[in-house]
Amino acid sequence: MKKFIATLMAVVMMFSMAACGTGSNGDEAGGESEGESGGETIKVGVLANTSGDNAMYGNAVANGVNLYIDQLNASGGINGKQVEVVQYDDEGDATTAVNAFNRLMDDGVTAVIGSVLTGTTVAVADETYEVNMPQITASATAAGVTVLDPEDPESEIRTNVFRSCFIDPFQGEKMAQYAYEKSGATTAAVIFETGSSYSEGLATAFVDKCEELGVEVVASEGYSTGDTDFNAQLTNIAAQNPDVIFCPNYYEDIGLIVTQARAAGITSQFLGGDGWGGVAGYASAEDMEGSVYCSGYAPGSTDEVIKFEQDYEAAYGEAVPNMFAPLGYDAAMLMCNAIAEAEAQGLETGSDEYKQAIIDAMAATDGLEGITGTYVFDEQNNPVKSAAMIVLKDGQETFSELY
């Protein structure tokens, strides 16, 4: 038996070694600058992780940004000046992102669009805040991007940093409101992935908002990453028979949870966040029927959205891959509108007053129509916009309303 134990130890070691280290293998930061040269231009810096892990997000954002600016330049630019994009790849790495930002400073940009991931965006935001450089991110959802210390309600706010996407808690609150007003729920349950800041963040916000609205949260169940069996948690939830069950996570888990819940005889309505996109393929149509999730972007919902989708496909030869592309498009739109305001005041391009004028104009944005919603910023520079409610109907993810 000693031999057996020794063998086992060897095996355990081997597995743990194999589990270690797949490093990132991004290339050297390669800058690419596009746009017209000659004549006076307005230089806008773009930071996106267009290589490495999660490059899918970075590329979508960069494509969205460039699409808007190309269209703007084609229609005459801002105040007769062309907008010149100076784009660097930050590889999703905070240090590389800061270096890339320093290069943008040397290049003399007057505003920054980016970065894409939360970590890189916060790192860059620290730098832009120092020099009061206008910055907007299309996709970093953590509260800490625009607020120095998200734990502290009195915290200093990075007045120069904006975003075009929701913040994490927003979706949880939105869905609690929806459960209360639209589903008429009086009891709710949540099932979330413990240790995932996205899933836990949404779940916590949902529970807090439910308590505020008087919806009783009868069960709150966690599961760990990689679980496929949710029967134990669902049995606990079934015993409470809640009106709605909120499960904020990505579509693969959701498919399993909903299928097992229905098999266990749970008839409650399921609600979720934007991680649900694509869930229709992961559970049967009957099981999903009537479930609702909120999303930052409703494909094919309005004429503007359809036009954007056609333009995107014409420019890049592929369909809009995810909500990151339209969010990038909106971020560029918000930034360019604010720049137009600064130009209208006749300030010198790139000067400190010019940058402050951009920031003021951005903060004053009121009701600007984007692809993903109508923009107004709150006092923490987060957009207040309606979420697209997507309903699962006959096995299709169908846009139902802006809520």
Partner 1 sequence: MNLSILLNQLVNGLQSGSVFALVALGYSMVYGIIKLLNFAHGDIIMVGAYAAWMCMANFGLHPLLSAAAAVVVSTLVGMSIEKVAYSPLRSAPRLSLLITAIGISYLLENGFQLIFGSGAKNVAKYVAPLTSGPSLRLGTVQISFTALITIGTTLLSMVALTLLVKRTRLGKAMRAVSEDMGAAQLMGISLNRTISFTFAVGSALAGIASVLYICAYPQASPTMGSMLGLKAFVAAVLGGIGSIPGAMVGGFAIGIVEALVSAAGLSTWKDGVTFAILILVLLIKPTGFFGRRAIEKV
Q: What are the residues binding partner 1 (CB under 8 A)?
A: 1-5, 7-8, 10-11, 14-15, 18, 194-195, 221-224, 226-229, 231-233, 235-236, 238-239, 252, 255-256, 259-260, 263-265, 281-287, 395
CB of 230 to partner 1, least distance (A): 8
Please report, for residues 47, 68, 191, 318, the alpha-carbon distance to residue 315 in angstroms, rounded to integers and kept in the order given.
20, 11, 41, 8
In whole angstroms, the minimum distance from the beta carbon of 148 to partner 1 comes to 31
* Cβ nearer to partner 1, comparing 4 with 152: 4
Which tokens in the block code for residue 228? 């496929």
Please name every residue paired with 270 in a beta bridge, in sequence order, or none if there are none. Answer: 245
Alpha carbon distance 218, 55 (integer Å): 40
Cβ 208 to partner 1 shortest distance, Å: 19
- Greatest alpha-carbon span in the chain: 85
Nearer to partner 1, 64 or 277 (CB): 277
**Which has the closest alpha carbon to 139: 62, 37, 211, 224?**
62
Tokens coding 7: 């063998």
We find the least distance from the C-beta atom of residue 320 to partner 1, in angstroms, to be 19
Q: Give the CA angle between residues 47, 51, 57 to the nearest 5°.
A: 70
Q: Which is nearer to partner 1, 17 or 74 (CB)?
A: 17
**Residue nearer to partner 1 on the CB measure, 3 or 346:** 3
Min CB(221)–partner 1 separation in Å: 7
Nearer to partner 1, 87 or 260 (CB): 260
In the complex with partner 1, the residue whose CB is nearer, 54 or 194, is: 194
Q: How far is the CB of 169 from partner 1 (least distance, A)?
A: 22
CA dihedral 117, 121, 124, 126 (to 10 degrees): -140
**Residue 174 corresponds to which tokens in the numbers above?**
């939105």
| Nearest distance in Å: CB 15, partner 1 | 8
Task: Report the Cα 262 to chain-centroid distance in Å.
Answer: 30
Strands laid side by side in the 31-33 sheet: 31-33, 82-89, 41-48, 111-113, 135-137, 161-163
Say whether the peptide bond before residue 115 is cis (omega within 30 degrees of 0).
Answer: yes
Cβ-based nearer residue to partner 1, 76 or 265:
265
